[in-house]
Amino acid sequence: MNAKVFETNEVQDLLKAAANLGCEDGNARAKEITHRLLGDLFKAIEDLDMTPDEIWAGVTYFNKLGQDGEAALLAAGLGLEKYLDIRMDAQDLEADVHGGTPRTIEGPLYVAGAPVRDRVSKIDVNPDADAGPLIIHGTVTGPDGKPVAGAVVECWHANSKGFYSHFDPTGAQSEFNLRGAVRTGADGKYEFRTLMPVGYGCPPHGATQQLLNMIARHGNRPAHVHFFVTSDKTRKLTTQINIEGDPLIWDDFAYATREELVPQVVDKTGGVALGLKADAYKDIQFDIALSPLIKGKDNQLVNRPRASAAA
């Protein structure tokens, strides 16, 4: 079909009616976004001459996406979440905010409510025969380069199957396994004693993987560890580290890898004295530099619905 209808009054009026632009009631921002997104979709349907079959396949896809609870997973996989980071990075440059540990995406698997401990936390609760011990530690510094006391470092990561507690389809993990929070002391230091994670893969029969299969992409992430770092005097940092040597480090389906976020993994001994399950362990030093509040405020704090549980 070559007939062009998008620019006709009939279609333009339909868009305005659908977004309810003709009256003052309702949320003006919601109307603006609805009008724009719907218009962009209508235009794309015309430009690409999408068939009714394709449209209904897409509508059906949204139903499956919701049933699978994967909308936020798809947002990560399609680079939408990365795009938000690119925009925040650019806003920082414009506002002359430089340096500090780079942000990278939060992802959909955070759970609020992990127990907060002072300086050190052992966060592996469930045994995991296939995972060796790992210590992640470092110093949190502020914009002045000095250690930050009272910063809260939260971390969360997958087990040796690539599954996260709270979202584990096998039900094998207890609440907050491999999730923890540590408050720094005067020296700004934090430490997590845990087990080595393995990379995540999208649920093989879920909506996200279904789309990725159609476009010949994989749905895997390299092994990684997530962090939130908060303190009164700085902006909240959302970031991750990747485990050095993972073959997917530069092939992450969620585009979260950044050069500064691949710290060295060092072999160490003395784990038994530290309460680890073996004497030989892997050690990662990840120092965290926080960025300043802007006019006393965190200008980029992200509010999104997040899972929570009681510790």
Q: Which residues here bind Fe ion, judged by CB under 5 A?
A: 107
Mapped to the 3 state alphabet, what secondary structure does 261-310 carry? HCCCEEEECCCHHHCCCCCCEEEEECCEECCECECCECCCCCCCCCEECC
SS3 of 58, please? Answer: helix
Q: Does 206 bind ligand MBD (CB under 6 A)?
A: no
Residue, CB closest to Fe ion: 107
206 binds, among Fe ion, ligand MBD, none (CB under 5 to 8 A by kind): none
Task: Give the helix ranges, DSSP H, for 2-99.
Answer: 9-18, 28-47, 52-67, 71-77, 80-94
- Is 107 or 138 the residue whose CB approaches ligand MBD more closely? 107
Does 108 bind ligand MBD (CB under 6 A)? Our answer is yes
Q: Which does 196 bind (CB under 5 to 8 A by kind): Fe ion, ligand MBD, none?
A: none
Residue from 200, 227, 281, 286 binding ligand MBD (CB under 6 A): 200
**Separation CA 37–CA 24 (nearest Å):** 20
By a kind-dependent CB cut-off of 5 to 8 A, residue 108 interacts, out of ligand MBD, Fe ion, none, with ligand MBD
CA 74/CA 86 separation, integer angstroms: 18
Judged by CB under 6 A, the residue of 15, 19, 65, 109 near ligand MBD is: 109
The three-class DSSP label of residue 106 is coil
Does 289 interact with ligand MBD (rule: CB under 6 A)?
Answer: no
**Is residue 254 close enough to count as binding ligand MBD by CB under 6 A?**
yes
Q: Where is 118: in which H helix or E strand?
A: strand 116-118
Q: Count CB atoms within 10 A of the CB of residue 169.
A: 8
Q: Which of 15, 19, 65, 73 binds ligand MBD (CB under 6 A)?
A: 73
Q: Which residues sit at the interface with ligand MBD, rule CB under 6 A?
A: 73, 76, 105, 107-109, 200, 221, 254
